[in-house]
Amino acid sequence: MKSPGASLREWPYPRFIAHRGAGRLTPENTIAALRTGWQHGYRMFEFDTRLTADGKVVLLHDETLERTTDGVGPLATRSWDEVSRLDAGYWHSASMAGERVPDLDQAADWLLGCGGLANIEIKPCRGREVEAGVAVALAATRCWAGVEPPPLLSSFSVETLAAARQTAPDLPRGLLFGRPPADCVAQAVALDCVALHVDWRFADAALLRAAHAAGLRLLCYTVNDPAEAMRLREIGLDGLITDSVDRIAALD
């Protein structure tokens, strides 16, 4: 456990991070979204991961398939073979029809091919918290073997992050909160996280000081107003996650 006043670890990641790839301009959590964020100057990408019925790590935000694919029902009841054939782009626009749900291997291949960085959010289905943490940590270790910097793993689930830590202790982790509780820094420190991630509305100078004093970086999501993004940058936030890749420049 870090002691008060612990020194900050080296931070190899850009300050500005594209949310779900570029999840408004293109279908979220797809290779098209990553490509679009890259075209707007972003070099790090937050995306969501879940497990199929047969344990494949895929990029998807919701527990169910209806909102972002032409599939129906819970993802956890579908095999990777079924999910890989779904259309994840038709709902967004005609030009995106046929875009597929990628697995983590495909996302890693694309990112490594262009030098992009990853913030992999682990979203476990209820009852699969440990399984999800283990599966994502193993897949990330394999996909990014020998690569620096490694992907940053994040989750709202303490159980999931603990499982990821046990499986791949060298992969950096961030603990997510909406409204951060009073002990949010202590919780992140207890998990040996490198970062604390909070809703941008609760990211302020006081929380930044507390995080830094404990040796943590402070990231916020999902800030889409350019003026707010610049204000948070000016107070020193270490990472800002945004949908507005076309309105907020990816500054250092």
Nearest Cα to Cα of residue 236 among 210, 46, 18, 3? 210
How far lies 93's CA from each of 26, 33, 87, in Å? 8, 13, 12
Residue tagged active-site, from 40, 61, 92, 197? 61
With a CB cutoff of 8 Å and minimum separation 6, the contacts of 172 are: 149, 150, 152, 153, 193, 194, 195
- Residue 19 among the catalytic residues: yes
CA distance 92 to 25: 9
3-class DSSP state for residue 29?
coil
- Residue 212 among the catalytic residues: no
- Amino acid at position 90, single letter: Y
Residue tagged active-site, from 19, 92, 197, 212? 19
Return the active site residues. Answer: 19, 61
